[in-house]
Amino acid sequence: SYITNAAAVELDKLVKILQDNPQISIELSSHTDARGDNEYNQKLSQRRAESAVQYLADSGISPARITARGYGENQLIITNAMTEEQHEINRRTEFKVTRVESGQADASE
């Protein structure tokens, strides 16, 4: 649930997106691989999502714009993963836009 250097590079891209688009709110969805206990994976994924939210907040993004959601092993990309590379694909954090605030004036108006 710690932010790696590789994850920080990706999160910095998200910081830029959020800075450039202050009208949007997002959900950060974290996932685990299927190894280990389901309950443990659920808690781990929630901690991962919360760590990402904290990183964004530390970068100046309002936490009110971000929802952290851990999905554990419930949304695997590769079911029955066999290799470490396949397990790594399942371990991820994704974001989706959940709200776009209206009332932002268009610059061309």
| Closest to 101 (Cα-Cα) out of 28, 27, 25 | 25
The CA-to-CA distance between both ends of the chain, in Å, stands at 45
For residue 82, is pLDDT > 50?
yes
CB 49 within 8 A of CB 68: yes
Tens digits of per-residue pLDDT, 1-13?
789 999 999 999 9
Q: What single string gives the DSSP state of each residue in 24-68?
A: EEEEEEEE--S-S-HHHHHHHHHHHHHHHHHHHHHTT--GGGEEE
For the record, the structure tokens of 72 come out as 């554990």
pLDDT band at 99 (very low <50, low <70, confident <90, very high): very high
pLDDT for the residue 103: 65
Q: pTM (2 decimals)?
A: 0.86
For residue 77, is pLDDT > 60?
yes
Tens digits of per-residue pLDDT, 15-34?
999 999 999 999 999 999 99
CB 61 within 8 A of CB 73: no
